Amino acid sequence: MKRLVVLISGEGSNLQALIEACQQGKIAARIAAVISHRADAYGLTRVAAADIEAKSLNPADFAGREAFDLALSALIDRYRPEAIVLAGYMRILSTAFVARYAGRMLNVHPSLLPRYPGLHTHRQALANGDAEHGTSVHFVTDELDGGPVVLQARVPVFAGDDEQILAQRVKAQEHAIYPLVVGWLLAGRLTLRDNVAWLDGAPLPAAGYAAD
Ligand code: GRF
């Protein structure tokens, strides 16, 4: 059985979706470990019932980003994962860390990339009066939220929405598309070549796969 390591910072609702997808056989893998840089991340408590190790590493115990990421990769590598899944992991990654897992590491970002990389995506969509917002699953590269997009999901923005409502609407889509993409990666259907995402032997367009 293939193995995943999931990195989180907070609530872990995407982690929950991944746990369930593995339990239901929608992803042919098991989550070997969930790791956070915050010992109090709520998501770490979600693994209690499942056969998953929950670990945390405190950045304050390390000299800097490189040292932390080196310890993190040593911990990750103990589980020999085929894929590393960032699920609300809110830390900048060092270049060496990204390079180590090139083509094996995915992220989900709450916007229709390349719109709104970085923080406060829902706030920006509302402030700009966007009629549409969404989420993107992408390969992780050295460019923050800039790696090749694999799949996006769109949601409408309604009059009267606030950040919280919009975030929940976006997350509902993430819970559907993230396990799907992780499954593609583990099945060998999805690869990263020369900074382009390929699915089933064909390069994906800039906005990722879109079923008509
Ligand atoms: C998600 O909206 C994801 O796009 C972003 O952080 C949020 C994490 O939510 N990167 P959760 O911790 O999975 O509930």
Domain regions of the chain by residue span: 2-203
**Counting atoms of ligand 1 from 1, which one is nearest the CA of 167?**
2
109 catalytically annotated: yes
Mean pLDDT of the chain: 97
Pair of tokens at residue 46:
């979600």
- Residue 137 CA to residue 156 CA, distance in Å, equals 18
Write the single-letter amino acid at 103: G
Q: Is 170 exposed, middle or buried (0-12, 13-18, 19+ CB in 10 A)?
A: buried
Report how far ligand 1's centroid is from the alpha carbon of 101 (Å): 21
| Ligand 1 pocket, mutate which of 6, 8, 9, 13 (most atoms under 8 A from CB) | 13
Residue 149 Cα to ligand 1 midpoint, Å, equals: 17
- The 10s digit of each residue's pLDDT in 142-196 is 999 999 999 999 999 999 999 999 999 999 999 999 999 999 999 999 999 999 9
| Amino acid type, 184 | W
- Positive or negative, the CA dihedral 95, 96, 98, 99 is positive
**Ligand 1 in reach of 134 Cβ (< 6 A):** no
Q: How many CB atoms lie within 10 A of CB 28?
A: 12
Atom 5 of ligand 1: nearest residue by CA position: 88
CA angle 163, 37, 148 (to 5 degrees): 60
Rounded to the nearest whole angstrom, what is the distance from the C-alpha of residue 205 to the centroid of ligand 1?
24
pLDDT of residue 65: 97
Q: Among 111, 163, 174, 181, which is best to mutate for testing ligand 1, by the most ligand atoms less than 8 A from CB?
A: 174
CA–CA separation, 136 vs 87, rounded Å? 12
The reply to whether CATH 3.40.50.170 applies to domain 2-203 is yes
Q: Which two tokens stand for residue 206?
A: 């800039």
The per-residue pLDDT for range 81-117, each reduced to its tens digit, is: 999 999 999 999 999 999 999 999 999 999 999 999 9
Catalytic residue among 109, 133, 138, 175: 109
Ligand 1 atom, smallest distance to 13 CA: 14
Strands 83-86 and 2-8, how do they pair?
parallel
User: Which pLDDT value is given to residue 50?
Assistant: 78
pTM of the full predicted structure? 0.97
Residue-by-residue DSSP string for the chain: -EEEEEEESS--HHHHHHHHHHHTTSSSEEEEEEEES-TT-GGGGGGTTTT-EEEE--GGGSSSHHHHHHHHHHHHHHT--SEEEESS--SPPPHHHHHHTTTTEEEEESSSTTSS-SS-HHHHHHHTT-SEEEEEEEE--SSTT-SPEEEEEEEE--TT--HHHHHHHHHHHHHHHHHHHHHHHHTT-EEEETTEEEETTEEPPTT-B---
Q: What local confidence, expressed as pLDDT, does residue 51 receive?
A: 80
Q: Ligand 1 mean position to 148 CA, how many Å?
A: 19
